[in-house]
Amino acid sequence: MAPSKDSVAAWSCKQVAQWLHEEGFGEYEELLCTQHRLDGPSLLALTEADLRGPPLGLMVLGDIKRLTLALRHLQRQNQAQLEELGLRPPDSLPTEPSLGPIGVEWSCDGADRRFNFGDRLSNGTELRLRNGDRPGYSPGVVLCHTHSNGRCRQHLAGRLDPEVWKTVISSIYVFLVFGFTSFVMVIVHERVPDMRTYPPLPDIFLDSVPRIPWAFAMAEACGLILCYMFLLILLLHKHRSILFRRLCSLMGTVFLLRCCTMFVTSLSVPGQHLKCASKTYGDTWGKIQRAMAIWSGFGMTLTGVQTCGDYMFSGHTVVITLLNFFVTEYTPQTWNLIHTISWVLNLFGIFFILAAHEHYSIDVFIAFYITTRLFLYYHTLANTRAYQQSRRARIWFPMFSFFECNVNGPVPNQYHWPFNKPAFMKTLIG
């Protein structure tokens, strides 16, 4: 028997499941009715934002739109019940808010002349609309999302705020981390174990593969090619500010962890070819000068920088792997040639690091694992916005929450030429 539409507010979860089945959305019965116990009143309060966001997170756009239309039809048939529940009927809501060029004012503090949807979403999100000139709805609407953690997220529909000031902060962060890493490398060099007392540790790869003298220079060459590829993508990507901010925050965090690991434990030199010995740089100023030399040379042998003792874990592997992941993440999936080249450079770079006997195998393995896991965890949290539901995530990842609080979901891979000239590039790329 079909559920009566005259008493939707009295429906049970079973009746909601029956309605979903009749409307052609049977595949979502388990998610909505069993996992999230959706009954009649909560069905009437359901919005498109609920369907898109966590914890539901529907991914099929057609299903989202069709289910939203069915919900609106059901809500229009039950306007009296909506008013009894304290919800504004859908006919009184603004539909398809346009982005007018004037009369826009940000409102996240609940000031007067605001337009409330009247319903709170299940994740504690309230949608508010405000016009800067007069009460009521008009073009130039700005969406403001106030989350249950008390923070406010502002954006125009369909637009990602570049938040350049946050990108500047992330740049300063990675800049300071690289400087601190250089200073720790000077400290570590003073404590490098004596090769006569502590010979190289047994390593299956290093013991099996003969050393290639030019391999480390090739590894750095692979890193430089990946760097140029990423810089080109960064130049052409529409959301370059977000990309660069994410690169800086991830790079800085991994290298900060590397500072801790190489300072805590000093490994013996991995090969007899390395002329490493404990070296004292005298006073603090001498150490700072040496750190500045490492810093300015990016720690690369191609720039004449030679370091010892910074083994756990491989910084070269971190940089090469992170650049590869950014290149493949922020280019379309159909760019198979670019992705293949990026991965080949990443894998060959790692091989050359090991073939040069500049790092133990465990250094490279741990560097690759930490970098890939951190990249995947960061982007999973950012794309699903699951951290908004977890106070623990906001406590343990405060920098992530700060940088990503206004990025609404995955960053689309859109490109445009950032300059006015030459005109053909503007026409070609957009």
* Residue 128 β-bridge partners: 116, 144
Burial of 88 (0-12, 13-18, 19+ CB in 10 A): middle
d(C-alpha 327, C-alpha 226), whole Å: 8
Query: Among residues 237, 239, 316, 357, which one is catalytic?
Result: 316
Q: How far is CA 31 from CA 11, 26, 119, in A?
A: 17, 10, 22
Q: Is 73 a catalytic residue?
A: no
Q: Is 145 a catalytic residue?
A: no
Neighbour tally for 132: CB within 10 Å: 14
Q: Would you say how long the chain is, in residues?
A: 430
Query: Among residues 147, 189, 357, 359, which one is catalytic?
Result: 359
Query: Among residues 39, 363, 379, 416, which one is catalytic?
Result: 363
d(C-alpha 97, C-alpha 355), whole Å: 59
Contact criterion met (CB below 8 Å) for 292 and 215: no
With H, G, I as helix, E, B as strand and everything else as coil, classify residue 136: coil
> What does the radius of gyration of the chain's CA atoms come to, in whole angstroms?
28
Nearest Cα to Cα of residue 300 among 322, 319, 280, 276: 319
Q: Is 359 a catalytic residue?
A: yes
In the block, which residue shows the tokens 């500047």? 168
Helix ranges (H only) for 159-239 are 164-190, 204-208, 215-236
Query: Catalytic residue positions?
Result: 316, 359, 363
